[in-house]
Amino acid sequence: MNGFMKFLEAKLVPVARKLDQNRYLTAIKDGFFAVMPLLIIGSMFLLIPNIPSEGYQNFMASKLGEDWSKYVLIPFDATMNLMTIFVMVGMAKSLGRSFDIDDATSIVTALVAFLILTPMTELVDSGQGLPVANFTATGLFVGIFSTMFAIKIFSVIKNKGWIIKMPGNVPANVATSFSSLIPELFVILIFTAIRIGFSFTTFETVQNFLYTILQKPLTNIGGNLIFLIIVVIVQQILWMFGIHGSNVTDGITKPIMFAQTAENAEAFAAGLKLPNILNYQFYTNYVNIGGAGATLALVLIILFVARSQRFKFLGKLSVGAGIFNINEPVIFGLPIVLNPIMIVPFIVVPLVNILLTYFVMAVGLVPLANGINIQWTTPPILSGLIICGWRGALHQIVLIVIDGLIYYPFFRAVDRLELEKESLQNN
């Protein structure tokens, strides 16, 4: 086991650290962090028209008309259905700062590049409009890549010194505007050339190209059970070395998982069959109950079963945070980090949760996650109730029990060793 741990530390940890420090992956993560409150609020409005009560439905229809749901779904349309724009704003701000570009310039640069690539649609009556579908999860990869490419172009031109420099007595905001002229011009010209170039291909637009060649295949991969298992194994191994595993992988996995969640949300809002078993809500609310490694069960075992004084104190310290899926106290306090005894259940438990949850959803025992974005700190049982109904909450209880049965013998071994240490110290 020690040899295996040393091998992983030598081969995997350096790669993980480089990924964690990559400015582009960091910007993607920051973009999703920035938009999370909007997505949570917007998607919660999906609950209002979908409360399973005939009396409630009739009451709302009598007050607001048969199409009453369209009124309460306005916040959903303004958030979830425009998520690409909001992710781009947060991402551009983060990436611009890494290139020493001010926030406003970074955001404007990313948005104009994206809008240049977005084709207008002819309206039936008259005029033109921007297709909203390009601002939903469908356009997410176009938004991500156009933001990265546009900010990089701006940075390259700026670093070459191809900017208009104003005298020192000119106000800073005016000087910034003029210094951005030439870099912005290059961004606009290059993206216009890209737009024109794709118009001569069979794809016609960048959106069609990226969705067909990249986003759809990646989404299919993200919906693959093996993909999620590999991601979770990598995350758990990184945690074993004290590296925040999801921080390393989120830049790659979040766009895929959020696209799947958004597809479920759109289907749920339209009353259609939900398309994706695997999505971000599946991952956060069933795989990692209590945090990475699904440690809520472990915390409860420590609280009620521990015999050593140190672990009794740790259980009291960890349970409050664990209920809200925060598990740093137990990961670093037990510790799980660099603990060869705990590595087995720490990896096995979330994998068991994946397989069991996938099975019960695939056979219809538990409904698929409805796409409602809830904060990752939402306590288990409540989270299952919101995204999958009472059967989802019940399934979380079952998982906690199963997780506890797996963790129990390993913790007892650790607790026994700690108790022996305390006995030697007291003697």
- Name residues whose C-beta falls within 8 Å of residue 258's C-beta, 6 or more positions apart in sequence: 32, 83, 137, 140, 280
Give me the mean pLDDT over the 206-221 stretch. Answer: 80
Reported as a pLDDT band with limits 50, 70 and 90, residue 9 is low
Is the per-residue pLDDT at 271 higher than 80? yes
Could you tell me what percent of the chain has a pLDDT over 90? 36
Give me the mean pLDDT over the 209-232 stretch. Answer: 81
pLDDT at position 62: 85
Looking at every residue in the chain, the average pLDDT score rounds to: 86
Give me the mean pLDDT over the 303-325 stretch. Answer: 90
Query: In the beta sheet, which residues pair with residue 129?
Result: 121
Residue 242 vs residue 34, higher pLDDT? 34
The token duo for 241 is 């070395």
Is the per-residue pLDDT at 393 higher than 90? yes
pLDDT at position 237: 85
Domains of the chain, residue spans:
22-223
Least confident residue range of 41-55, 72-86, 310-324, 344-358: 41-55
Sign of CA dihedral 412, 418, 424, 427: negative
Is the per-residue pLDDT at 129 higher than 60? yes
The HSE-up count of residue 379 (CA atoms within 13 Å, CB side) is: 8
Query: In the beta sheet, which residues pair with residue 121?
Result: 129
Give me the mean pLDDT over the 255-271 stretch. Answer: 86
Give me the mean pLDDT over the 397-425 stretch. Answer: 90
pLDDT at position 1: 53
Is the per-residue pLDDT at 139 higher than 90? no
Is the per-residue pLDDT at 5 higher than 80? no
Reported as a pLDDT band with limits 50, 70 and 90, residue 15 is low
Query: In the beta sheet, which residues pair with residue 100?
Result: none
pLDDT at position 10: 65
pLDDT at position 345: 93
The rounded distance, in Å, linking the Cα atoms of 337 and 330 is 9
Is the per-residue pLDDT at 7 higher than 70? no
pLDDT at position 366: 96
Least confident residue range of 239-248, 263-272, 346-355: 239-248
Reported as a pLDDT band with limits 50, 70 and 90, residue 162 is confident
pLDDT at position 328: 82
- Looking up tokens 């303004």 gives 78
Is the per-residue pLDDT at 32 higher than 90? no
Reported as a pLDDT band with limits 50, 70 and 90, residue 246 is confident
Q: What does each C-alpha distance from 52 to 49, 61, 97, 389 come to in angstroms?
A: 9, 14, 47, 10
pLDDT at position 299: 94
Reported as a pLDDT band with limits 50, 70 and 90, residue 337 is confident
pLDDT at position 16: 65
pLDDT at position 11: 63
Is the per-residue pLDDT at 302 higher than 90? yes
Reported as a pLDDT band with limits 50, 70 and 90, residue 4 is low
Tens digit of each residue's pLDDT (9 = 90 or more) over 187-208: 999 999 999 999 898 888 898 8
pLDDT at position 427: 67
Is the per-residue pLDDT at 263 higher than 90? no
